[in-house]
Amino acid sequence: MTMTDTPGLVLSGVAGLGLGAMFFGGLWWTLRKSLASTKPALWLLGSLLVRMSLLLVGLYLVSGGHWERLLAGLVGVIGARFVVLRLTSPSVVAKEVDHAPESR
């Protein structure tokens, strides 16, 4: 690996972050929609097919036939998972408020 490969790896990682945000953000959105739907299995299956297709095609295009870029993209996807989890999880304070005794 040379210094000229570094920008390609960084761009692959950033693209992986975007693809991962789309994948996991779409999963969060689908779960919320399926809970209110009369046909949740259709929502979940359709979403899985669309999200997985977009992720795989995106990673294929980002890699450009280089395993190093593919690996950087996958690291970006995993990083996006942590970001989406942090942004979509209820706060600790909100969880504690639900368990607090009512004041009179």
Angle between helices 67-88 and 6-35 in degrees, nearest 10: 40
d(CA 49, CA 70): 21
Residues whose CB is less than 8 angstroms from the CB of residue 51 and which lie 6 or more positions away in sequence, other chains included: 22, 23, 26, 27, 30
- For the chain, which residues make up each domain, given as ranges? 19-97
Q: pLDDT at position 16, please?
A: 97
pLDDT at 61 over 60: yes
pLDDT at 90: 76
pTM of the model: 0.80
